[in-house]
């Protein structure tokens, strides 16, 4: 691995064993992009990769020259309006109304390891040998603004982390109106764009479309990364699939408004932009001040989408997530939300917890409704003091009772919100985001606290800290249940209102940072009405996230499958809930609900007392099983085998690092009469090892299972007989393989 700079040719080559990233200083001083992809030999001069040709109707930067048009040269950080007409990475409004800027190479630094990004979540290294970082220093000669582009190449991963920082070294204030984290120009457009889109309760469904000339994009303007789209897109070659072929993933380590945009120009080059959404973004950059963009990470593979995802999983599990829980298997929890909603007493909670304890559950989570006047969703948010009418001994009282049962105790918070019917709102009506002289829209009867104001963040921190210090709390579910509207801060002047969305997220990160460092052993699970903030920014503070409010096993197949393109199984909150399911009214077998939830952090979202004795016995077995295999589920290598978006059968598997253990999950949505015989070729096994299959008691070599395939047909392939009683809709099986 290394970062090489050739002084004569002014070329940078970043490479590790698998990937190369090459760029050069252009004749005009700008940075040009030459290559990103599979590793190629290092050489002194890559200038042959720079394509300059005279084109009719182009605009040219130099007098008496018809070759140098920025529009036709791939850029590292494109600007608009000075011979480049594509959508730019940056837009700076200057005091005189001008917007042109021209960032020219001045210098660079190469350092081992990876510097921190102040106040922002980012990937990190533990040893300097894990990565090298290149800091390119560019300057716009007219405004004096210094732009620093950071590139970190990881030694063991096909990943490059990037970000941009602006320093106003000039003497005039400017307004940064667009500052993307990443601009990546690719030499062709023979790609499909994959994005992960949906809505509440159907988050991160896989969508694929062919790249076309013009602009295609996904993004969020909701103040959170959103249920609707995820800050992760993939460009994959049209011939690539899960198991082979080239693809590049683009992931933004950020939880607020974002834009992921792909522009194909009519000369067939592709520009990817990823960063804070430029709509409503306007950062006032005074002399001597600076602005740091969030980090974006590019992942490369030439071995298919599973390989790409495995790289994301490793990097994000080990070098984005942090802290005490990063490498630990997660406690099996029970959450009272779907069991009681707001309708509970302390006795009821203890009853739920006691039965759960008998079944082997390790952590009891008290969800919404334990504080202030929060007896329904119209009141109390913001008042983080226990409701003594429900919990006579306060949080300490209930936590002690749960601990006495031999379980850990977890608690729900929604720190960023307030109901108008609350003491906090009555004391500080100006603490919500709302625009003067306009009505303030609500979502679920609640309003968004102005987290761009440090005093607001501090007030919530003090309330939470008191609760966390008084009682033994082992887990926090941090919820966020509405999008931002009428975004405006009463504390900021007119010319800084464009900063509010970003300052809000910085406030959220600040609160997370303070709480996670003050209480390092608490396990944080992020949540936003299910999966509206399932993003790498959150993963930095909370190593797991509530994947979706949809707990139906069939829906979860799609949600967890789509989420797995970027996020590791250890980050996916997944629970067994009651049937008929509360979101869909669907009834699925209890074993199928567990077979889906095992591929995540695992827990229950119901009152086990309401299950039959037979079902409770089944639950005990499930918990025993998960305790035995959770290391494999949560930290094994995950492969997608058959997609729920395309097939009646979904299949996926996890393999241990030493390849001696694997578990395949097989799920058939609708039963099929007189079905064909099916085999599924497995992945990631050792062809030389012989695996014992617990499902049929036979043994098979890894090569048989991978090349001939795992036989998944059962006797229902013929006709239904009493022996095929398991053959039903929403059927599933686990195949446990041990070398």
The verdict on whether 479 is a catalytic residue reads yes
Please report how close the Cβ of residue 167 comes to ligand DGJ at its closest, in angstroms: 40
Comparison of 123 and 335: residue with beta carbon closer to ligand DGJ: 335
SS (H, E, C) 242-281: CCCECEEEEEEECCCCEEEEEEECCCCCEEEEEEECCCCC
Q: Does 481 bind ligand DGJ (CB under 6 A)?
A: yes
Binding residue count for ligand DGJ, defined by CB under 6 A: 11
List the catalytic residue out of 185, 479, 535, 550: 479
Which residues are CB-neighbours of 531 under 8 A, at least 6 positions away? 203, 204, 227, 545, 546, 547, 548, 549, 559, 563
C-alpha 453/C-alpha 458 separation (Å) is 9
| 282 labeled part of a ligand binding site | no
Cβ-contact 414, 380 below 8 angstroms: no
368 counts as binding ligand DGJ under rule CB under 6 A: yes
Cβ-contact 273, 87 below 8 angstroms:
yes
Separation CA 176–CA 285 (nearest Å)? 7
Active site residue 549: yes
> Minimum CB separation from ligand DGJ for residue 340, in Å?
11
Please report how close the Cβ of residue 337 comes to ligand DGJ at its closest, in angstroms. 5
Is 265 annotated to bind a ligand? Reply is no
Q: Shortest gap between Cβ of 548 and ligand DGJ (angstroms)?
A: 8
Binding pattern to ligand DGJ, positions 594-633, x when CB under 6 A? Answer: ----------------------------------------
Which residue's CB comes closest to ligand DGJ?
Answer: 368
Do the annotations mark residue 370 as ligand-binding? Answer: no
- Identify the DSSP state of 711: E
Mark 564-587 as b/e (b = at least 16 C-beta within 10 Å).
Answer: bbbbbbbbbbbbbbbbebbbeeee
Residues contacting 2, CB < 8 A, separation 6+: 14, 15, 132
Closest approach of Cβ 377 to ligand DGJ, in Å? Answer: 7
CB 176 within 8 Å of CB 227 = no
Ligand-binding site membership of 377 (annotated): no
Tokens for 447, please give them: 């309003």
What gap in Å lies between CA 213 and CA 393, rounded to an integer? Answer: 64
Report the residue count for the chain: 739
Of 349, 459, 368, 473, which Cα lies nearest the Cα of 413? Answer: 368
Judged by beta carbon, residue 581 or residue 716, the one nearer ligand DGJ is 581
CB 151 within 8 A of CB 162: yes
Contact residue for ligand DGJ among 102, 295, 549, 552 (CB under 6 A):
549
Q: Does the annotation flag 477 for ligand binding?
A: yes
CA distance linking residue 371 with residue 82, whole number of Å? 57
Of 312 and 532, which CB lies nearer to ligand DGJ in the complex structure?
Answer: 532
Is 478 labeled as ligand-binding?
yes
Q: How far is the CB of 409 from ligand DGJ (least distance, A)?
A: 16
- Measured in degrees and rounded to the nearest 5, phi and psi for residue 512 equal -60, -45
**Residue 664 near residue 710, CB atoms below 8 Å:** yes
CB atoms within 10 A of CB 156: 17
Site for ligand DGJ in 319-348 (CB under 6 A): 337
Instruction: Pick the closest to residue 263 from 189, 178, 179, 180 (CA basis).
Output: 189
**Gap between the Cα atoms of 707 and 487, Å rounded:** 56
d(CA 669, CA 648): 6
Q: Which residues contact 552 (CB under 8 A, 6 or more apart)?
A: 577, 581, 583, 584, 586, 588
Nearest to 413, CA basis, from 321, 512, 343: 512
Closer of 185 and 552 to ligand DGJ (Cβ): 552
Does the annotation list 550 as a binding residue?
A: no
**In the set 530, 543, 562, 636, which binds ligand DGJ (CB under 6 A)?**
530
Give bridge partners of residue 165 from the DSSP assignment.
148, 292
Closest to ligand DGJ by CB, 412 or 598: 412
479 binds ligand DGJ (CB under 6 A): yes
Q: Is 221 annotated as a binding residue?
A: no
Token code pair at residue 495? 């010319």
Closer CB to ligand DGJ, 338 or 661, in the complex: 338
Q: Quick one: which H or E segment has residue 590?
A: helix 590-597
Residue 343 CB, nearest approach to ligand DGJ (Å): 13
End-to-end CA distance of the chain: 35
Q: Which is nearer to ligand DGJ, 412 or 488 (CB)?
A: 412
Marked catalytic residue, from 84, 132, 302, 549? 549
Of residues 194 and 522, the one with the C-beta less far from ligand DGJ = 522
> Quick one: which of 154, 370, 412, 735 contacts ligand DGJ (CB under 6 A)?
412
Nearer to ligand DGJ, 231 or 530 (CB): 530
Mask: binding to ligand DGJ, 510-529, rule CB under 6 A, as x and -?
A: -----------------x-x
Is 549 annotated to bind ligand?
yes
Q: Nearest distance from residue 611's CB to ligand DGJ, in Å?
A: 20
Query: Can you say which residues are annotated as belonging to the binding site for substrate?
Result: 200, 367-368, 444, 477-481, 527, 549
Residues with catalytic function = 479, 549
Applying CB under 6 A, the residues found at the interface with ligand DGJ are: 337, 367-368, 412, 479, 481, 527, 529-530, 546, 549
Annotated binding site: 200, 367-368, 444, 477-481, 527, 549
């Amino acid at each position: 691995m290394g970062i090489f700079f050739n002084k004569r040719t002014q070329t940078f080559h970043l490479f590790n064993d698998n990937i190369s990233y090459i760029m050069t200083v252009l004749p005009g001083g700008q940075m040009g992009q030459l290559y990103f992809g599979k590793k190629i030999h290092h050489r002194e001069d890559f200038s042959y990769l720079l394509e300059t040709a005279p084109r009719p109707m182009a605009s040219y930067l130099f007098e008496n020259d018809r070759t140098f048009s920025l529009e036709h040269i791939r850029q590292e950080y494109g600007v608009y309006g000075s011979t480049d007409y594509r959508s730019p990475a940056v837009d700076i409004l200057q005091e005189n109304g001008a917007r042109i800027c021209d960032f020219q190479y001045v210098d660079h630094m190469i350092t081992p390891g990876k510097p921190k990004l102040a106040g922002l979540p980012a990937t990190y290294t533990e040893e300097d040998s894990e990565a090298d970082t290149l800091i390119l220093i560019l300057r716009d000669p007219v405004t004096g603004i210094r732009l620093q582009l950071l590139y970190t190449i990881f030694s063991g991963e096909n990943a490059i982390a990037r970000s941009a920082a602006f320093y106003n070294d000039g003497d005039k204030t400017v307004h940064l109106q667009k500052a993307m984290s990443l601009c990546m120009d690719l030499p062709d457009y023979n790609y499909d764009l994959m994005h992960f889109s949906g809505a509440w309760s159907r988050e991160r469904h896989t969508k694929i479309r062919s790249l076309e000339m013009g602009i295609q994009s996904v993004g969020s303007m909701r103040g959170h990364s959103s249920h609707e789209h995820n800050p992760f897109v993939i460009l994959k070659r049209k011939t690539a699939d899960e198991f082979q072929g080239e693809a590049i993933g683009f992931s933004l380590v950020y939880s607020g408004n974002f834009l992921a945009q792909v522009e194909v120009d009519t000369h067939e080059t592709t520009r990817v932009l990823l960063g804070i959404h430029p709509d409503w973004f306007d950062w006032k950059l005074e002399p001597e001040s600076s602005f740091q963009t969030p980090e974006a990470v590019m992942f490369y593979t030439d071995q298919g989408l599973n390989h790409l995802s495995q790289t994301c999983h490793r990097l994000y599990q080990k070098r984005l997530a942090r802290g005490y829980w990063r490498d630990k298997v997660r406690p099996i929890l029970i959450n009272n939300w779907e069991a009681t909603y707001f309708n509970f007493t302390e006795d009821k909670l203890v009853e739920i917890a006691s039965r759960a304890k008998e079944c082997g559950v390790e952590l009891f989570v008290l969800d919404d409704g334990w504080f202030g006047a929060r007896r329904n969703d119209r009141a109390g948010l913001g008042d983080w003091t226990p409701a003594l009418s429900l919990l006579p001994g306060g949080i300490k009282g209930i936590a002690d009772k749960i601990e006495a049962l031999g379980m850990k105790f977890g608690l729900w918070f929604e720190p960023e919100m307030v109901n108008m019917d609350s003491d906090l709102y009555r004391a500080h009506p100006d603490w919500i985001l709302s625009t003067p002289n306009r009505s303030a829209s609500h979502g679920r009867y609640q309003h968004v606290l102005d987290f761009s104001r440090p005093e607001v963040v501090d007030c919530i921190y003090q309330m939470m800290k008191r609760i966390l210090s008084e009682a033994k709390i082992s887990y926090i579910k941090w919820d966020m249940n509405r999008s931002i509207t009428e975004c405006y801060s009463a504390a900021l002047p007119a010319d800084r209102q464009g900063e509010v969305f970003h300052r809000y997220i910085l406030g959220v990160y600040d609160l997370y940072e303070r709480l996670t460092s003050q209480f390092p052993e608490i396990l944080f699970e992020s949540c936003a009405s299910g999966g509206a903030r399932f993003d790498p920014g959150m993963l930095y503070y909370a190593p797991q996230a509530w994947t979706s409010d949809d707990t139906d096993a069939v829906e979860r197949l799609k949600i967890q499958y789509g989420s797995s393109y970027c996020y590791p199984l250890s980050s996916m909150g997944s629970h067994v809930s009651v049937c008929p399911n509360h979101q869909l009214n669907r009834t699925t077998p209890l074993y199928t609900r567990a077979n889906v939830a095992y591929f995540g952090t695992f827990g229950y979202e119901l009152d086990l007392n309401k299950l039959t004795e037979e079902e409770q016995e089944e639950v005990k077995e499930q918990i025993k099983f998960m305790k035995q295999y959770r290391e494999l589920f949560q930290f094994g290598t995950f492969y997608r085998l058959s997609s729920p978006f395309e097939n009646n059968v979904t299949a996926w598997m996890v393999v241990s690092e030493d390849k001696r253990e694997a578990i395949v999950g097989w799920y058939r949505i609708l039963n099929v009469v007189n079905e064909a015989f099916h085999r599924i070729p497995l992945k990631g096994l050792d062809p030389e090892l012989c695996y014992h299959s617990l499902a049929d008691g036979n043994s098979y070599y890894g090569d048989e299972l991978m090349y001939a395939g795992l036989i998944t047909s059962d006797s229902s392939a013929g006709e239904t007989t009493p022996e095929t009683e398991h053959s039903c809709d929403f059927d599933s099986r686990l195949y446990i393989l041990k070398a």
